[in-house]
Chains A and B, each alone.
Chain A
């Protein structure tokens, strides 16, 4: 059944029809999907969700489009893994990793794009477009291919080669723009006015798109046996994911599926080279001043975060914190996660793990809390960042002698001469 929806301005409360609108035409505030939670509570149950598909679409009652055949590559329902080895390293007794690297195009963006393109198709759009720091581009191109839609994705020209290659493989139009993501985003906002027949997933259908991130909260709670964690750590680029994870937990309480979701603390993770939200948090102001990004965490390099203000509010209201970590900490975070839990994350995941470590060290996260860290993109997307951190232990001739010369084995201990850096 199609849910009854309206779009409501978060700033002035004006209501709009559920069309391809993303800002209030009075105050420019963001429009957000508003639901009839009493009606949803009557028809949704843990059993009805558990009987659904193993994807984000098991939560369709809490998503802004109820299509029998969504534009779906299988996004979501990724593993929530208990991370005892990483937890022991950091001094946490109950740490979990939401491994969202395991989505169809390798990042959480598949969640939001599946929702956005299903809604876009329902609204009659034939072209999908976006401004992207890389992960979104691939996801839009892939889902558009699946849906038989045209796609136009715009990315900063300095992006990691794997992301550009991946976005290009699906047959859509990929435009590399000279400038930062914020330049790309401004261009897309202007293109939206000139091409109103294109669905820019994170511009004119952003209100629907953003709702897809709520499924991270839904899954975490379901995978914890329909209970709420104490604390979640979320990377911040635009701030949309963090605010929607908060909305997701709140909704689980509103429709009676999970208790205690209003007590979940939410902390943010940013790269030091692009930390407008962490800076505002540290200064105790609610004004998020834009910055010019300079970080290896390119997927988080948004200097002018659209939802920064709301992310900051969520962090403050839930009693969370916000860390900003340097590039070398990000690489250490990637290596630490890989070496303790066998999960290879992209630079944004390194930001999350390094921020988690910071927030434990400064006492924001308590050792006994049940903590979930959101690891949202696959390491293969940013391998060039790992050049000095990982590589072969030795390169040898194909002989036993060469192996014995390069690799020292004593019982279960295996050692090598230090790897030579190029």
Chain B
């Protein structure tokens, strides 16, 4: 399935400035790993040594926090948008 990943400003140095990257993936986790394969550097920024999302990384699928879905195992449908957003904002 082709999904679109929106890249936060802080990480656009890894995508040559692109704000969106299309990937083929069945789950959110696959999508993020595909992003890292095409643009090395994402993996170590998004995941800790155990392969879990870092504490201050939020990931949204179609505007919903994946922690309210099935996390990295959440299925991705064609045309959906995944957003990577720093957790440190607000309040």
Residues of A that sit less than 8 Å from B by CB: 11, 22-23, 25-30, 131, 181-183, 185-186, 188-190, 192-194, 196, 200, 202-203, 206, 237-241, 289-290, 292, 302, 304-307, 309
Contacts and interface: CB of A to CB of B under 8 A. Distances in A.
A254 to B, nearest CB: 24
A306 B63 contact: no
Contacts of A185: 89-90
B90 A28 contact: no
A196 B86 CA distance: 15
A202 to B, nearest CB: 5
Quick one: which of A23, A181, A192, A304 has the most chain B CB within 10 A? A23
Interface stretch (B21-29, B32-40, B54-62): B54-62
A243 to B, nearest CB: 10
A25 B86 CA distance: 9
B89 A11 contact: no
A33 to B, nearest CB: 14
29 contacts: A22-B88, A22-B89, A23-B56, A23-B88, A25-B10, A25-B45, A27-B54, A28-B56, A28-B87, A28-B88, A29-B55, A30-B56, A183-B63, A189-B85, A190-B6, A192-B89, A193-B12, A202-B89, A238-B91, A239-B91, A240-B91, A290-B67, A290-B68, A292-B68, A304-B58, A304-B65, A305-B91, A306-B88, A307-B88
Contacts of A28: 10, 45, 54, 56-57, 86-88
A302 B90 contact: yes
Interface in B59-78: 60, 63, 65, 67-68
Contacts of B88: 22-23, 28-30, 206, 306-307
B3 to A, nearest CB: 17
Nearest to B12: A193
Contact of A203 (B54, B58, B65, B90): B90
Contacts of B9: 192-193, 196
A237 B90 CA distance: 9
Interface string B1-15: 000001011111100
Contact of B89 (A188, A237, A292): A188
Contacts of B87: 28, 304, 306
Contacts of A30: 56, 88
Contacts of A186: 58, 60, 63, 83, 85
User: Closest 4 interchain pairs by CB?
Assistant: A238-B91, A193-B9, A185-B90, A28-B56
A29 B10 CA distance: 12
Given A29-B56, A186-B58, A193-B12, 19 more contacts: A23-B86, A25-B11, A25-B45, A26-B45, A28-B45, A28-B54, A29-B55, A30-B56, A182-B65, A185-B90, A186-B60, A186-B85, A192-B89, A193-B8, A202-B91, A206-B88, A304-B65, A306-B87, A306-B90
B80 interface: no
